[in-house]
Structure 1
Amino acid sequence: MRFASLGSGSAGNGLLVMANGTCVLLDCGFALRETEARLARLKVDPSGLDALLVTHEHEDHAGGVARLAARYGIPVYLTYGTRRALESVLLPATEVHLIDSHTPFAVGALEIHPFPVPHDAREPVQFVFTDGAVRLGVLTDTGSPTPHIREMLNGCQALVLECNHDPDMLEKGPYPPSLKRRVASRYGHLANPAAAKLLASLDTGRLQHLVAAHLSQTNNTPSLARRALAQALACAPEWIGVADQGCGFDWREIR
């Protein structure tokens, strides 16, 4: 199994997961032409995508879903709450599959395990992917870890983990007070220390890849995110990847 990012952050998100001929895209927060260009960079033909999964309805995750799905006939998988939030933009001809936030489902060679997260959206979820041999856990857009989140991410061979902001940078930064409260709330976004604390609570003995994701370009830096996660793992900061807003990250193989 392997995975790659189209880009990660408040200006747009997309994560590719591939195994044994199956390829799915998790979220699409980019305009159609931009999505096509980013997929081409990773040598993926959008007509070959088997599914488009949506974590929640916010523009940076779902803004490009409707046009991409309609243009290439890609089935869309999302929760009922997210479907209701996007019903005004999804075309009637789009093939929509409603998923339960606690029930695994399969797309080709991938078994996909959704799980609910605390975030200010209608029915947000994140996912663990497996090909039967290895597991990739993805967690972004959550204000606080829960016991169920820890259970789902425990023992994964690869993790894409939100490190949205540094608390000091957020507090001293230019955001208005209301937005600062939203970002820092339990339904907002995961701060570096909270991500590190979650990571330290997991069984990471088989971890091959760790990528910090959804970094705020205003309230965080790659070095701060890497440092926080490296302390939790007792590893060199350079070992930890960072999903960039402009170019995401290239394919990573999980063995």
Structure 2
Amino acid sequence: MTVEDAYEVQWYGAALRVREGARVIGHKVGLTSAAMQEQFGIGEPDSGLLLDRMVVGPGEELPVGGLLAPRVEAEIAFRLGADVRGGETGEEAVRNAVAETFLALEVIDSRYGLSALTLADSVADNAACARIALGRPVAGVPEGLAGEFLTVRVDGAVAASGYGREVLGDPVRSLCWLVRRLGSVGAGLRAGDVVLAGAVHASLALDAGQRVTVSSPRLGEAVLHAV
């Protein structure tokens, strides 16, 4: 199976869920940091679709019993305020299209397991995206987002950290990568779309009973409580 075949499988799988009542709310970009590429042995980014059913809202608990081997990672995320299309769209145009920026926690999982995963495996399985929790947004894109320092705590103890620049040098470049990829199949980003830019650290195992938070100096905390 080629990676292009795998994206067709991914989109068909999402279409089946939409028929069942789910709604596509955006995209995730994965494998954008050296830490994640080294952890999974895959040397290039991929992307998946975000569905409304994946969102763990403020104050909600995340039952992990229905997942296979959940892991959690902290990210910077964006909400688009305008449509963006075209394979050669530059960083400034993409930055100007962002309405809000916020922190996010993504729970990844895979039907194939997360060891010896290939790029095609990941793509076909929707880039391993299982659940997401979003923090409180700020308007636009803060200056110097590459230097934003994210701290992940599990049950109050620091478990991981990383700068925004771990994501392709600047999280906005993750958006640009996604616009180019979508443009290659005649698609694009839409106003209102949420986009997760990618983890700033290697993913962490997630177990029932854990409370995971991510915080940074200028963005509101995102929280996951696993049960």
- The normalised TM-score by structure 1 is 0.23
Higher relative contact order (CA 8 A, sep 6+): 2
TM-score in terms of structure 2 length: 0.25
Larger Rg: 1
Which structure features the higher share of strand residues?
2
